[in-house]
Structure 1
Amino acid sequence: MNVKHVSTGVPRSVSRCSQRAGGVNAVCHSYTGGVVKVGSDVMGQPKVVPIYWGNTVNGNSALKLAFDQFFSELLYSNYCDRLTQYGVQQPLVMPSHAIAGSATSVSYSDVGSQLSTWFANGTVPPPPVTDALNYYYVILAPPGATIGQAGECGYHNNTVLTLGIGPAPVYVDLAWGLVYFPKPAAGATPVSIVNSVCYCLVHEMVEAFTNPRGQGWSVNVPASGGNAGQNCEIGDLCETKTQHAVGRWNVETYWSNQDKGCVGNFASDWTSLGAPPTGVLGAPVVGHNADGRLEFFVVSNDGNLWHRWQTAPSGSWSSWETLAANNPGLASTLRVGNNADGRMEVYGMQEGSLWHVWQTAPSNGWSSGGSLGAPDGGLIGVISVRNNHDGRLEIFGVGTDRQLHHIWQTSPNNGWSGWQTLGGLPPGASAGDPRVVNNADGRLEVFLFGNDQNIWHIWQTSPNNGWSGWASLGKPPVQITNGAPFVGNNADGRIEVFVTGNDGGIYHIWQTSPSNGWGSWAQLQSALPGVQLDGLGAVTNNADGRFQVFFIGSDGALWTMAQSSPSNGWLSVHFLDAAPIATSMNAVQIPGTGRNANGTLTALVRGSDGNIWQITQIWPGEPWGQLVTD
């Protein structure tokens, strides 16, 4: 492509590496009058293109991964939420580029020329002309190269280029930021290296979103206290404030007219709930008492069953207690259901057979437990449990014969049938762990992942009765990586099925009407730079019926997506903040989820420190933490 550099403007909003009160932005630091709308030039939905220029990142896959994860985790967190008041919607992170090179200094005109060269030789794809004004190129200078006067760590700017598209050149005015990259100290970790530059990087980025070419949001602050007057942007007004953490990253706050102060992320409400004395073997499962109190269950490393419960609906938690008087020797994965009268019942695998324990009265004490046996040859994998339309519990599991077996209560709240088979999948489609859900008319429907990469299902032909044969829902256009689908009901009753793909994305398929036919597979969310969304997931419903889907990313953090309205549309993926340092989650575990009596959702995970960690919505359907202000 023929690309020409036409002109580059004068740098705006030069930020200081030391964040000290002096310097070019000194008059901005004490100003509290906010910013004003100078013009209408803001990025409606920024597309951020990270460029790592220099040999330190190029060829260092661990450092590049850390930078990529920083951009994804920051820009898909609540940190950006307050930018909507300035007309900036959810930013998108584009693929990054690590480019070899070295320099002792880089000027703003050098950046304009370098961008045109990278576009021309294909090193960096040029932006689409129709959306070029929403692209922001954030450039890390070669390590140690000066980018301005001593002490300056970054600025943002814009460059006019011509792109040789069609019979006549097309002019584009691109926004970019240049950030000083100090040479990393010997032995520095990738996270510490990112943190050495990210506060300046973020300062320039939020200003470029809201004032990319000088006709967006800023304020002219007159001279005072011996400091010269200055045009100040939303980062300048908060440059000397306390940094705040977004997961692993320490970033600056920015000015919010709405809050009349400097704001940052919604601070994580992750809370450690500890662990039994012998540790936790697997992921927690969450149950609901009849009185609305949540209760969660885990298997300890010695095979015993432990639990904690809310002492009041939506309230604090009890201490840890064992549930089984005699250690049943359970495997790690549990399931929980509710009897028709509200009593909880917990199920776990015990050397190939199924063990269960139940409340003796709703929201009250527990039995001593017992065995439900197993089909001939035993069970493998994980069972699934659901209530029939008449309230009877029914359990599904795969046997060693790779057929789906089930057992059910013969009447609500009462005894159990023997194990029976629902048959196996067609030849070449061996069954994985089942998942069961109710249709809108009450009929049960079971889903499982076949080793032929298809999702298979079988359903009751009428509520509480009879079964169809097996049918395939097909598969997404990529290989499925999670061993079982996760399924749920929309607010209108339609079933929806979710899986993760080997491209790091999330795929789904849904009924086109309640209790009826199915649409086609579609991608719900693509992989993010540095983050594969390929762990197992969970799905639940907000108080208003909207789906909330959870999954653990390859970065060890919990991510979530919610529908934008009940039974319809989706909001952007959101980073729920990493659990505290060194407690990342295991990407193959399933988050435990529950809805409190007050309508807020709670998610529970097992951290790599062996403890159970909890995060809860602040109010129903809304953020998962309190807004950080300074």
Structure 2
Amino acid sequence: MPIQDVEHVVVLMLENRSFDSMLGWLYEHDAPSQFIPASPGAPYRGMQNVNPDDFINTVPKSTLTAKPTRGVTGFTIPDFDPGEEFEHVNTQFYGPDTTPSGKPSMTGLLADFVGILNGQNVSPADVQRLAPTILQCFTPGQLPVLNQLAKHYAVSDAWYASVPSQTNPNRSFLMCGTSNGMVNNGDLETNPQAKEIHKLLGMAIGDDRVDAPTIFNALDTAGVDWTVFWQTSYLPQKISTLLNGLPVLIPILAASGHPVAAAAASVALAALSPYTSYLEDLTSGELGSCYTWRLYPQIKDKIPNAAQHFQKLEDFHRRARAGQLPAFSYIEPFWSISHTATDNSGLEKLVTVLGNDYHPPSNLLVGEEFVKEVYTSLISNRAAWEKTLLLITFDEFVGVFDHRKDELVEGVVTPPWGPNGQPPFKSTSDFKFDRLGARVPTILISPHVQKGTVFRSATNVPYDHTSVIATTLKWLNRTDLMPQFGQRTAAAPTFENAVTLGTLRTDEADMRFLDTPKAIGDPVGYGDSFVLKNQNGQYLTSFYTTMLAVGGGSVIPDSLMGICVDLGIAAHFPRIGGDTPATLAFITTDADPTPQIADGAQVMLVSREEGLGALNVLGAWADSSDCYYANEYLDAANVAKQRWAIQKLANQGQPLQYGDQVYLTNMSYSGQRLTRDQGWFTPAGWITTGAGGDYWTIVPAEARVGHNPWNGAPPLTMIAASQQGGSRGAQLWGVDPSGQLRSTFQETPGGAWSPWSGVWNGASPSNAISLAAAQQNDGTVRLWLLDANNALYSNAQTSPGGGWSGWSPAGWNGAPTLRSIAASQQGGSRGAQLWGIDMDGQLRSTFQETPGGPWSGWSGVWNDASPAGLISVTAAQQNDGTVRIWVVDLHNAVYSNAQTSPGGGWSGWSAAGWNNAPPLQTVAASQQGGSRSVALWGVDTSGQLRCSFQESPGGPWSSWSGVWNGASPSHIGSVAVCQQNDGTCRIWALDGNQTLYSTAQTGPGLGWNPWSPSV
């Protein structure tokens, strides 16, 4: 498929990781399915063929040495931010005593990192412990999201940072094709206060201005819609809260027994006060503090109404799920600004934050969750996903290990201003912009990309971030806009050749990291989501932030509690018995996690709640009687506080399954298990550790991604089906989450099904709340739809199996206001019949007086009386030509009524609980073939499918099944069923994740195939 058929490009640029440190072990045990361009004999350029002894790093005047290792000791590795500036990268590439020229050795990372640690006053013992981690590389088991995406789609093992330096110059090359000569963050700052704050905090502000055309200016010129989705201000938004809140907080702290914290806050306020106005502008959380808006002035200066193109991340998720993304989306992460993962000292702890951008020393469990959420939203709308291309890349490699050297020499790339030109800003480093930074992970994700692809440049120029601009302009057929981006972009290789598949893939949900439906008895693996329920039926629920010394509450305003967490006098506490169960996961740092968690395993208990950020690992601590969440620690004493041993109550020694009951014993406090705090002075609802302890049931969390749906269906909210006439077999309609009608039909009786339509029949009434369809006696099918205003529309075929006549106006056939509908073919001299439940819960009806003929006026209450308070209705023609109707009332009781002859009168309503039916929420029925007559399915109050069938035409009915067909999709919300033209029946069910399942009979009136997808 050519890339021109892609309608939505999404670019997610993350922060500061090298290729080998993230994806180096991706193909350790197997090989890619294809290389683009074909590269016979050239393996994946990962760590699997690297000899670590070739990259031994040393430190001058020290005995400390280290070499690259497989696997990391924690998810915050490296635990301190490595050197990012140009001077540090030169040391990392060439060593501390070598002039940066020619092919680098990649043996200076350890020495540079030791310098960073010494600069942070890390003790000599901790330097010895921490410094070698700079050469540790994550395994696929430790970073499952990034690695599974890379293997499931396409990865480039030859994509390089544009500049051997830090964030701003590298992001500028993706934005503008140039950094205007900026080498380090801060080179192009225009406000002198930025340098003063740098001195105060020991951290560069990087409030640069790159006055150059951006990719968004080009998109605007081309008339292409685009949006920047952002999350927070470039510098931590907490600084703005700090400046406004400290004058209120300081006296409260002093008066409530926290004099040390009050003094620290006073020092912070005094230090920052001279810069209040500038800092509030930088950190307000308003558009003016957005990184992309702030650093690239030609966006707001030259694009009309540019602010309308900037939206928050929640808008991305909403629009992606609705299939309403623009042609080009750019996602900013939540920025990490911190020297260390834990225990920042002094003023720094109040002005730093760890985000979801993968930037060291952030918690990569948070970054992985962020990428998972982006991917989950994109695949949730099948129709839009089919036209989408997602690119994930990183801005720079920062000082972590990567082994490739050959492409890092001078002259590999062209400066944006050409070999003889000059940049607008001349850096004191005299860098010529003719060499690259190290490799960064870059993944291309789309149903049009072959699984297991590795893509590289087809030219002598490697990929760098300017390839995004070049490929985008080529995709839009607007290469005439290329010159404004300079010579680097003009020479950049493009990657449209990696989009190779003409047949869409439908396996986007076949990845272990996704939150797909789980059932009791399913295995529990590391990273699988669950909720915990204790023996009293109480769930571990959402966290509550409060003071460590108070536990149940304090006089500190909620808006300022985050500052107290930074000061170490408050924390995020899990609770029990609240409103919302917390979604949790067991995590291990093992390089190769087992597929199923073993009984006795020592695990981290990690919460996936929004608002915790990096403080997501539950621990038992000495400074509080109750457990609270903190960032992952790497030192031995604190590691034990965040480790829990799993002990099963039954089937001991067997791997963990959903539904198992377990004790969770803290590894720091011998024999202490996770339990309710029942202390005299502790408010109810807190969690502690105790000698006896509660036991906990591992309960499946709510799924966020369904299995690959039947026939590649989009997410749907409701469905209806009908047998077809002519050469077709049957047809299914569904309403997608945007309220539009979609459809697929069986191309021949018993044969294959067509791909899903876009908006069916070219247009449909919007925001449907109920559907019904039936074959009329002349062989044509009629479809009805109720919209959100309870107005009824209809559309009918012009001939059996043929085209459609078009939608009626609202209020078809003078319909009353209805909230649910059902239809059936009729026998005798009539054609079909439609029933509807009106706003009073009463049944109304109209029927086709002759096959293909006019329709009767609407009845009052149908059949003179009907059960009251109805919530569901269905009907089907039986094999003797009569029709039977069923309804369900507000009490989930089932009633039925049947014709006395084909097209004739009705026998009268049964009593409640027809045929001893279980309590049901909704019902669907269909005529059967073979020796049977008709079958009724219902969704019971637990969301499971149940069934009863008529054993012979006009004969008795079977007893109700248990869970039908041995198993059914869970939390079913909508069911449709019809007889196909070969005499077999097919049933469809939508689960709680809007995923479509289906199964069909093996022959008319016979047994049933397994569900597709499986349940």
Normalization by structure 1: what TM-score? 0.44
Work out which of the two has the higher radius of gyration on C-alpha atoms and give 1 or 2: 2
Kindly indicate which of the two structures has a greater share of residues assigned to helix: 2
- Structure with larger RCO (C-alpha < 8 A, sep 6+): 1
